[in-house]
Each structure stands twice: as C-alpha cells, then as structure tokens.
Amino acid sequence: MKDVASLFGSMVFNDAVMQARLPKDIYKAVKKTEAEGTRLELDAANAVATAMKDWAIERGATHFTHWFQPMTGITAEKHDSFISPMAGGRVIMEFSGKELVRGEPDASSFPSGGLRATFEARGYTVWDATSYAFIKDGTLCIPTAFCSYSGEALDKKTPLLRSMEAIDRQAMRILKLFGNTTAKRVITTVGPEQEYFLIDKEMYVKRPDLVYTGRTLFGARPPKGQELEDHYFGSLKPRVSAFMKELDEELWKLGVHAKTKHNEVAPAQHELAPIFSTTNIATDHNQLTMELMKVIANKHGMACLLHEKPFAGVNGSGKHNNWSIGTDTGVNLLEPGETPYENAQFLLFLVAVITAVDEYQDLLRVSAASAGNDHRLGANEAPPAIVSMFVGEELMGILEAIESGASYKGKGKHQMEIGVTVLPHFPKDTTDRNRTSPFAFTGNKFEFRMLGSAFSIAGPNIVLNTIVAEVLSRFADTLEKSKKFTDDLAELIKKSVGDHKRIVFNGNNYAAEWVTEAEKRGLSNLRTTVDALPEFVSKKSVDVFTKHRVFTKQELHSRYEIFLEAYCKTLHIEALTMVDLVKGKIIPASIDYQNELARLLKLKKDSGASFDTTLENHLLTAISKLSASILKKLEVLERAIKDSKDRSEIKALATFYRDKVFPAMSELREVVDELETLADKKRWPLPTYGDMLFSVI
C-alpha cells in the first residue's frame, strides 16, 4: 500500500487538484459556484470538464456518470463513455461543460410519488459543485441533484441542500445579533456511525430470504447469541480485518475520512465511523461507504448485511447521526465557549435544538421510520419510538437553574448566570453517557440514534436542519426587535427551557416505566411507520417545510406516498418470500423427514421383533402436528396477501399490511422455527442462525 497520505483522496477531483489543473480565473469561478451556489458560465464549465476528463483518463477512467440519490434511498448512475467518433473510424475522448453541469437521464422508473408522470419522463440531474467529483470503478462520478422538468425535487440531495441553506440563513441572523462579523456561513456537520453484519457468502446465497429481503424471515435461536457480550470490541477475525483494511483504503482513495472500526455487540456485527464533514458531503460519503461495504465484502467471500434487523433475537443495526452546527470560520456553535457572551450564545443554540426536538418530535420520528426500522425502535436494544433528549446531569442542572432563576452551583467552583459568568466545560468523556437515548448531547454535538442502518442520512438531516432553522428564525424575530438584548435573551432562554424541558429525559429509555412517564408528559409514541408517516403531511409539517423552502406541499405529499408505498412493497415481498420458502423448502423437508421416520416405524413393526418405537412415534407425531399447523398459518398468510389486492388507497393498504399481513407472517415464522428445533440438521433446507452468525472465522 502507498502511504496513506498520498493514497487519501487520490481518486477525488478535489480542491488541490483543481488548483493545480485549472487556470486561475476558472478556479476562482468554481470556488464562487461552490460557496455561493451561482451558475458556472459555459466557458468555465467547458474548461473544468476538460480538466476533469484528462485527470480521470490518466487514472484509467473511460466513462462518466451523473451520480444521484433518487427516492429509493440508494444511489443511481448511468454511465456514458467519453468516446466520440472521428473521421476514419477513430474516436477521441470528449467531455463538455454541458455534460458536466446537466444531464437528462430517462428516469421514468424512479419513484416520484406522482410528481412526474411517465409520459413526461424527463428528469434533470444538475451538478452539485459543493461535493467533489470522484472516480469509482473506472467511471468519473459527478455528484448531482435530480429534479423534474418543472423543478420539483425527485431526490434526497436537493432538499438536503435547501435545508442547509435554511439553517444557514437563520443561524446567521443570530450570530449577527451577537456581534459576529467574521462568519460568512453557518454549516451543519455530520459524522454518521454505520453498523453492519458480515456473514459468509456461501451461507448468504443459500438463504433466499436474505437475498430477496435483506433479513432472515425464519430461523430458530442458536445456542449462543450475544449474551456473553464477548464480541463487542473483541479482536478482529483475520477475514474481517482484511475486509476492513481494504474498505478503509478504498474509502480513503475516495476522500472519505474512515476513522474508527470495531466489532459490535452481536456476533458478526461491526461498525465504521468516519470523521465528520458537512452534511452534504457526509451524506454522499455514507452512501459510498454502504456501497463499498457490499462490494468489498463480496470480494472477501462475505456478504455485508445493512438491514436494520437481519436476525431476530440479536441486536439489529442502526446508524448514529452525530450532528452539530458550526461557522465557516471553524467555530462549533454547540461547544460552550470561554466568554460569557459565547456561553449565552451556546445556550441559545442549545435551547433552540431542545425546542425544535420537542415541538417537532413527530417529524424526527418520521425521519427514522421504515419497515426495517420498525423491528428495532421500541424493542429493547434501540431507542424507543418515543423521541426524547439526553443532556446529562450537569447541563440539566444549569437548565433547571436558569428556569427557576436561581444561580447555578455546579461541581467545583462553577457558578453561572447567563451572560455573566463562565460556563463549565461539559465532559465529553464516555462516563456521562446515556446509550438508551434517541437524541443525546455529547459535549459539543448531538447524536440522533434512531436511524436505521440502511437509511440515507439525508432524510433525518433535512428534518433536523429545518426544524432548528425554524426555531432560530423565531428567536431571531424576537431578538432583532429587542431594545435590551441581554435581558430579552435571558428571558427567551428561560422561557424556552420551561416550555420544552419535558423532552429532556436522562433516565433509561428502555425501561417500561418510561413509556408511561412519556405519556404523562404528553410526548408522542408513534409505534410504527404507518402511525408515523401521516405526520409528514400534517399542517404543521407543511407549514415549516414550505416556510423555509425545503419542500413544497406537492413534494411532501409525493414523498409521503413513496414512503408508504415502499413500506407496503417491503412487506409484500417478505410475505411472498415466506410463502415461497415454506412451499418450496420447509414443507418438502418436513415431508422428507416424516417419510424417513414413518419408514423406520414400519420397518421396526414389520420385522416382527418388539423394538421400542417411542422416539419415532413421538417425533413423527410432533412433526406431523407442527406441519399441519404450518399449513394452516400458510393459508392465513396467503389469504391476507390476496386480500391486500382489494385495497387501493395507500394508507389503508399500509395499515392492512401492518395489521393483517405482518401478524400472519409472525405466526407462520413461530411454527416454522419450532419445527427447525425438531428437525434433522442435515435435512434442514436453510443455513441456521448458528451457521450464519458464526460463519466467518
């Protein structure tokens, strides 16, 4: 391996490359586009395109693609080669400014939720100059936003960029009030921790449920699960280590700051965390990370599972969205400062987040909703479906003191009144942690823990940026009018704490009592995706997203449809896969085994000798009974699948899948899993949980 420093970013058309390869005036124009979102003149675009192409060809690229993030939650690309025919049957390699800044994929098959009828299938991809182009697998990838002919967002990047602008606008108003004249922009930053499973590829291909749905639909618990907690931070198995090494290298080449890797709690579960970057780049990089995990696992003879709950009975996988706000001058606004003024500013941003999370808890919940994540949220391993915040004891003490008007007497000599004395530095170490909280303050950032492992982080960050922008805008409205800034600021912080502290919960979020307590506090508990999604199109949601120009009403409604549709389709495919497996594998295996037992019984009887047949009788009886029960449950599931066809209204259909199809699936699974515990391991048609979870050695 080349040294990491020269490897890092070697496949990225980054700032250093641009500076070295672009004429000065063109470079300046690109920087302007990057910073201000202005359009690049065609001449300049042509110059950039040529430089990009030459650079890419030197690195072995033959194609280019507009890389975008449609509503499927994964990335899309359509490759065009650089070749252009010449007289005499030759070709030259060409790439124009027009091709760089705008593409027109025939994208009629991407979900649009009715925003774009297939007869006018035109969708445009537009270069996002704030995220660098890169080479992946011989193709120059240009990060782009994807929108319809009439300008509606058809992707996850467009609203994300809009939400970043919204919070920038509002946070800048606040900074101005504090006399900040140096910051030009406020940027949200994210570091997403990614969990995943690795299993042996041979096991994977023998499990149609994993192949079709990403999770196991059957499987009895193995004798050993995660109870010993001996996997967490354990030493890496050589195959896993080789995989992680190659993954790091490939990510580094693409400019992804892969930083931390370790084993997670469940057997076969691991985690990767990058160093944080701007939300937009973090989102692009997280998509690349998930993609490369799959590709590289495959090269190492393994399958990478990104599903939220690939195995019942062991932990599922989530994604922790570490989020903060900072200035372009490098100041983290969620970091307590050195001066009273800085601290007052910190407290204002802190209570803005608290207010936003409390007021828009439903939108945050929606942003973490999916069929896959329904298996985690509310189960005793992930945050519950109730959104609450952890701020730690010390900060809580300060907030309570502010509210009651008392002066704060913290540990040691810290005393504080807003704007007067210096705040203590809050501990960032792991002792003051609450790992059960969905939304935890960790010293200088918040960690939103409800996301599922397979998610694009765009959705949750769109919500987070927008709701905080909204609260900041209200704060700015009040304070801009103020004649007595310090007094009104103190009053605003105090009032916000009083109004919204119900969202703060520092206790154990997994405890059953919390559900009752949360209800008393009036917090919502949207248990499933179907409960949560309607909040996305509530008046409150439409108001906040349209006010900040993040989504239009139509865009919100189309997304609502797409999410519900995805939910229904996921359950539909799972149900069909179950039926297929039971008919094609489980029942034949059961018959095979019964046949064997019956033959043995008959042999013993026919022999004339008085052999004991207790075992055969017992097993045959039990298996016959279970098999009959399987048949019954299978019929119930098949009927439910059939009945789903009668429902065309999407919300009714989703409700039907949740209330009728899903329970039928669970019941069928239960009997099949019981049969597995009786069956002959040699004859069982699927690799077992034990086989899969301990398959990588």
Binding site for ligand ADP (CB under 6 A): 189-191, 193, 273-276, 322-324, 332, 442, 444-445
Q: Tokens 């080789």 appear where?
A: 242
For residue 502, the 8-state DSSP code is: G
679: three-class secondary structure by DSSP: coil
Closer by beta carbon to ligand ADP, 286 or else 577 = 286
Question: Cβ distance 526 to 377 under 8 Å?
Answer: no
Report d(CA 169, CA 325) in Å as an integer. Answer: 13
Q: Which does 14 bind (CB under 5 to 8 A by kind): Mg ion, ligand ADP, none?
A: none
As measured in angstroms, the least distance from the Cβ of 190 to ligand ADP is 5
Which residue, 287, 253, 283, 285, is CA-closest to 76?
A: 287
Q: How many residues does the chain have?
A: 697
First and final CA of the chain: distance in angstroms? 25
Closer by beta carbon to ligand ADP, 21 or else 433 = 433
Q: What is the DSSP string of 402-464?
A: HHHTPPEE-STT-EE-TTTSPPPPPP-SGGG--TT-SEEE-SSSEEEEEEETT--SHHHHHHH
Closer by beta carbon to ligand ADP, 191 or else 214 = 191
As measured in angstroms, the least distance from the Cβ of 440 to Mg ion is 11
Report d(CA 402, CA 70) in Å as an integer. Answer: 45
Question: Cβ distance 476 to 177 under 8 Å?
Answer: yes
As measured in angstroms, the least distance from the Cβ of 4 to ligand ADP is 17
SS3 content of the chain, % helix, strand, coil (to 5): 50, 15, 35
As measured in angstroms, the least distance from the Cβ of 272 to Mg ion is 10
Instruction: Kindly state the tokens that stand for 573.
Output: 């495919």
Helices (H), 536-586: 539-547, 553-581
Q: Tokens 């704007």 appear where?
A: 419
Q: Which does 276 bind (CB under 5 to 8 A by kind): ligand ADP, Mg ion, none?
A: ligand ADP
Q: Which does 445 bind (CB under 5 to 8 A by kind): Mg ion, ligand ADP, none?
A: ligand ADP
Q: Tokens 């008392």 appear where?
A: 406
Q: Count CB neighbours of 230 within 10 A.
A: 12
Question: Cβ distance 304 to 263 under 8 Å?
Answer: no
Q: Which does 656 bind (CB under 5 to 8 A by kind): ligand ADP, Mg ion, none?
A: none
Closer by beta carbon to ligand ADP, 190 or else 530 = 190
Q: Which does 103 bind (CB under 5 to 8 A by kind): ligand ADP, Mg ion, none?
A: none
State which residue has the least CB distance to Mg ion: 193
Q: Which residues, 6+ apart, have CB-to-CB distance to 639 below 8 Å?
A: none
As measured in angstroms, the least distance from the Cβ of 12 to ligand ADP is 19
As measured in angstroms, the least distance from the Cβ of 430 to ligand ADP is 6
Closer by beta carbon to ligand ADP, 276 or else 360 = 276
197: three-class secondary structure by DSSP: strand
As measured in angstroms, the least distance from the Cβ of 286 to Mg ion is 14
Closer by beta carbon to ligand ADP, 126 or else 356 = 356
Question: Cβ distance 200 to 301 under 8 Å?
Answer: yes
Residues that bind Mg ion in the complex, under the rule CB under 5 A: 193
For residue 68, the 8-state DSSP code is: B
As measured in angstroms, the least distance from the Cβ of 191 to Mg ion is 11
Q: Which does 255 bind (CB under 5 to 8 A by kind): Mg ion, ligand ADP, none?
A: none
Q: Which does 191 bind (CB under 5 to 8 A by kind): ligand ADP, Mg ion, none?
A: ligand ADP
As measured in angstroms, the least distance from the Cβ of 452 to ligand ADP is 17
As measured in angstroms, the least distance from the Cβ of 356 to Mg ion is 23
Question: Cβ distance 304 to 272 under 8 Å?
Answer: no
Closer by beta carbon to ligand ADP, 9 or else 111 = 9
As measured in angstroms, the least distance from the Cβ of 320 to Mg ion is 5
Instruction: Kindly state the tokens that stand for 180.
Output: 């900040």
415: three-class secondary structure by DSSP: strand
Strand duo 139-148 + 63-67: pairing: parallel
State which residue has the least CB distance to ligand ADP: 191
Rounded to 5°, angle at Cα 283 from 462 and 171 = 45
Report d(CA 462, CA 280) in Å as an integer. Answer: 10
598: three-class secondary structure by DSSP: helix
Closer by beta carbon to Mg ion, 306 or else 402 = 306
As measured in angstroms, the least distance from the Cβ of 522 to ligand ADP is 30
Report d(CA 402, CA 408) in Å as an integer. Answer: 8
Closer by beta carbon to ligand ADP, 423 or else 464 = 464
